[in-house]
Chains A and B, each alone.
Chain A
Amino acid sequence: MASKTRVMAAAGIAAALGLTTAACGGSSDSDDKGGASGGAAGYNAAVTSVVNPSTAKGGTLNLWSSQDADSWDPVRGYYAFVWNLNRLYTRKLVDYSALPGKDGLKLTPDLAAAEPEISADKLTYTFKLRDGIKFDDGSPITSKDIKYGIERVWASDVLSGGPVYLPGVLDPDKTYKGPYKDTDPNKLGLKSVTTPDDKTITFKLAKPSGDFLYLLAMPGSGPVPQKRDTGAQYGKKPASSGPYMFKDIQPGKSASWVRNPNWDPATDPIRKALPDAINLTITTNADDLDSRLLAGTADLDVGQVGVQAAARTKLLSDPNLKKNADNPVSGFLRYAGITQVAPLNNIECRKAVIYAADPTALQAAFGGPLAAGDIGTSMLPDNIAGSDANYDPFNRKQGKPQVDKAKEALTKCGQPNGFNLTITARNNRAQEVKAAEALQASLKAVGITAKIDQYDGAQQASITGSPDNVKKKGYGIIMAAWAADYPTGSGYMQPLSDSRFIPANGNYNLPEIKDPAIDELFDKANLESDPTKAAEYYKQINTKIMEGAYYLPVVSAKALNYRNPRLTNVYIHDTFGQVDFQALGVSDGK
């Protein structure tokens, strides 16, 4: 199974699923103007409503980022902002609708003319394509192009980096080796996907999956014209099926898009395509980016990870700037996974750790309520169906460490004088290291002596992601962060808690939870087509995880972002926890 962590390893950005409203996610600070004044600008206005609605076309959108895309190849990209930007040039059979709030989580037919026909056994999905859909070179987009695009997901040996979900659903035994090793003359050898004609595409699932459509909404499921596929190099000039096509890509420096003349608005229910051109500039200096944002020479930070400390101060102290800022829940949870390394294999010792941790110090380490987010209370973020904002089993919201309870737990655990353990943090994450230090300090208060082991975040899959290595090195607590690739409870929690999701490398079920009850609940949820019922299962899973004291939730992350007042149609898209880039326009037409 693929993991999210590349995303976090890279920048602490999450390909987040959405959130409900600021009221739930926001601190008191962000509540006040929360759901206010649809249309008008204002602090957090974009979280719940569209700021400066407009249909005015023209102008150039100046996007900036403090880091480059991992890849522009739809199959290889994994950063949230890259998925978000993919909406400019990659259409899929279905895509998230362009609406603020919860509606953003809904899928709408995109290349598909309508909702798919789903067989009674929930194993066969059939889509009909729209008419008049074309690539940027004018050639029509056929079902074969879509199939080929999807096949590329199988070629993870050549196209590394992206998520690899679909094989799990369509070809669990990986009998298909991907288009590059395909013996079929048309390179369309994937059996479980068929294209009876250019307008029809059919998927045969190995087992039912409530999340299948979400998988089809990922950039990797977009169409790719086989004759233009250059394998690993495709990301240097991807074809476009959307309203914009690449004009130029300078790795590490910039990317720019112009209108795709062959895109027909009539065929696209989602995209507005207001600006004539879109430029993305990559800077090496985040502070520089901030000062350009505040000066209005940059429109938006596509990273959407929040401004630096310096700009934060400026921004919050000046009402005129503050009204152009939003503080959305970026949608992923920072937490510490507590492993099975003795004595932590004893639940009471795990509880001791959780009670001893100082919630405020940890929050501060990540930047405080605004920059870091609210103190985490459970392993299901507020914004996933099934979560309960008031569910706080370890009473963390009050913000103080609970030394007595911790000591109590220690005694029960048979370690009244505490014990030694190792905390890991990624050395390329300054804040994570600081958090580890904070944890170390508060554990000391109850007699637990912690050693911090920093490691190269790039090697996560093989260091903390390898259960064997974790045992060998005796890692007791692993600082991590997580967000789902698609907005459902299983999409979020299954990799973290399902006993069947423990690979030798790239494991994210850090506590190695092996609870049949949890596994069973996931299966039930997957078969459940009614979201509300599914939500009920997820709620139970969350409870079980917390009762097992497997994880110490730290914060549910937020980011303080600034939007240039000249931007129109600004709103946070709940799927990404970011501004919906494709909707943006510029008021002054420049």
Chain B
Amino acid sequence: MAGKVFAVLVILITLATAYCVMAHVWWMPVDVSVHGPKIDRQIEETVLVAGLLFIAGQLVLAAFAFLYGGIGRKPRQIPGGAKPLIIFAFVLVGTEILALSFIGSKAWGSVYFEAPDPASMRVDVQAGQFAYYFRYPGPDGKFGSLHPDLINEGNQNYFGLDTDHDPDAKDDVVTAELAIPVNKPILITLHSKDVGHSFYVRELRIQQDFVPGLNIPIHFTATQTGRFEIVCTQLCGLGHYNMKAYLSVLSQADFENWLKKQASMQ
């Protein structure tokens, strides 16, 4: 009896889970990056591979619990003993995971192994408890150097720029929102002013931690205009839940106007 109930329960759970995943009841937002489709395909493949193992495992469990309850049966091991199981694990699962890691490495490589396009537009991102600030090099195309000792929220010197003595820093445009032109390779440099943070844009399929003390470069190209959330996924303190900024993907023209407006406000 208990075995049959257990079997039914397990099957119900398995079907419900399978349905929720297949029907995308909760699912990733649509991707807007060039490398994104590779990652999505990888997730889909993994859903397939893992899902089959999941269903198979749970069904076998349910079936045996259903069939072999009670006593008085002459016990017998499965034909061939453990050998077929071990062979199955090594051959089938082995090839599956090799395939996964091979294809997966390409998706990963497209984000991290390929050098950024030299023509990329560069943006500098500074994370701090609990906000992001973005910096554009301005007309001279050069970023002013950073002086943490000069960082001062009061007079809005979030990056610690020495605008009095550093010519490169004078024309840097500092904003609270990340705007980028669509279909243009972007190279952003992440650095944190205090503790660990993270740069997570679901629609870009990008998640990258800020490592205090290091410059972390990451590059991508957005393929659709729109406004997306940048959220912090690395526990950074009491305001963690509320640490976010917006990414606006604009047409080239809109982007230039936006940048001019921001520059004029400095």
The judgment on whether A and B are partners is: no
Interface set of B (CB-CB < 8 Å, partner A): none
